[in-house]
Amino acid sequence: MSENNKKSSNGIPTIIKIIGIIGIIVFWYFVFYGPLPAGNLTPKNQEGSYDLMVSNHVNISEIALDVQADVGEYDIRLLPQGSQKLLDADWDVNYNIREDIEEDIEISVSNTTVNDTLSILVYVNYPSNEIINIDNWNFTVYLNPDYIVYGLNVDLQAGSIEIEANNITFNEFSVNANAGQIDINLDSIDIESDFILTSNAGEMNINLNNVMIDGAFSASNNAGAVNLDFADIQLVNNTVMDISSNAGEINLAWTQTISLGADVIINVENDVGEIDIDIVATDLLMKYQVALEADIGDEDFNRYDWDFVTGYYESPEFASSLAELMQINANANVGSVDINIGLQ
């Protein structure tokens, strides 16, 4: 690979892909938030709450939250420590519906207990083949933070999800949004599983601070930016991180002041859009291998003076260093690749 050797590319498939992605976004926007066709409209409101008390679930050590929703905007947060509530869910939804539509939006929260695991299901069903215009959607789920482990699985067709948590342990963390924004803020969290994020259309904003990961990491977006801000990540085992977007910039900022704990391979792929990677680490914490390529676009790496060995730029004294390895593989089809590695 040479920094001055650029491969030619046929732009027609890329243009077709962009048009298709724009079509997906426009379709979902107008289905859920666009104007209704002419006719008699009936304004509706669904407001409710669902609470579980700690005193009624004394043998629980694990909480599993499953969100299965066709539409909506959801916030998942933690109750104060020592709360008497195990779960507090509240929603307030306003929308307009044609008078001739017999079905309605179905909203329910339920729970089941198996052994020491309490499973909570948030279920929202949007009437098939019907058009409903949503004016306002507020749905917040608060979980008690005093339990041993938590599982999180979110499958959202259209809407947004915001997750904020600290000082708890997840044994499952999976979020899928077909059309909508994903915002995740985790601080002092242990993840005892793979960390999986997928989106078909919508921005991803992922902030991880002092998070321990015992599994693979994947953030994949079909149409939309992927923004990642990491600080002092800890890895239980050697880990592969896959980060990708078909159309939208990818930004990774990573600051490391403590030992990573294991090696990491970071694969960053972008079909249409820029890749910007900024790593700041305390000197001697890590050694690096870096490969970057932009088929149509600029390549910029601030450490071109590093040795180029078997397809990678290698940090000084790479072969003799006992530090953890950070290997970066960044490839953009249409768009620039900019990698900056700063040593403190």
- Pairing, β 250-256 against β 275-281: parallel
Number of domains within the chain: 1
In a domain, 90, yes or no: yes
In a domain, 6, yes or no: no
Distance CA 54, CA 58 (A): 6
Q: What pLDDT is recorded for position 127?
A: 79
Q: What pLDDT is recorded for position 282?
A: 82
Q: Name the residue with higher pLDDT: 184 or 7.
A: 184
Q: What pLDDT is recorded for position 315?
A: 94
Mean pLDDT confidence for 35-48:
76
Q: What pLDDT is recorded for position 9?
A: 42
Calculate what percentage of the chain has a pLDDT beyond 70: 87
Nearest to 256 by CA among 235, 281, 278, 236: 281
In this structure, how many other beta carbons lie within 10 angstroms of the beta carbon of residue 285? 16
Mean pLDDT confidence for 172-176:
97
Mean pLDDT confidence for 208-230:
98
pLDDT at 3 over 50: no
- Pairing, β 62-78 against β 117-125: parallel
pLDDT tens for each residue of 254-312: 999 999 999 999 999 999 999 999 999 987 889 999 999 999 999 999 998 899 999 99
pTM of the full predicted structure?
A: 0.88
In a domain, 112, yes or no: yes
Mean pLDDT confidence for 77-95:
96
Q: Considering the chain, what is the average pLDDT of its residues?
A: 89
Residue 98: both structure tokens together: 């044609």
In a domain, 275, yes or no: yes
Asked if 337 and 299 count as a contact pair (C-beta separation under 8 A), the reply is yes
In this structure, how many other beta carbons lie within 10 angstroms of the beta carbon of residue 160? 18
In a domain, 334, yes or no: yes
Lowest mean pLDDT among 30-39, 90-99, 176-185, 197-206: 30-39
Asked if 175 and 193 count as a contact pair (C-beta separation under 8 A), the reply is no
Residue 248's domain comprises: 11-343
pLDDT tens for each residue of 15-27: 545 555 555 555 5
pLDDT tens for each residue of 188-218: 999 999 999 999 999 999 999 999 999 999 9
Q: What pLDDT is recorded for position 4?
A: 37
Q: What pLDDT is recorded for position 331?
A: 98
In a domain, 4, yes or no: no
In a domain, 5, yes or no: no
pLDDT tens for each residue of 137-163: 999 999 999 999 999 999 999 889 999
In a domain, 65, yes or no: yes
pLDDT at 55 over 60: yes
pLDDT at 327 over 70: yes
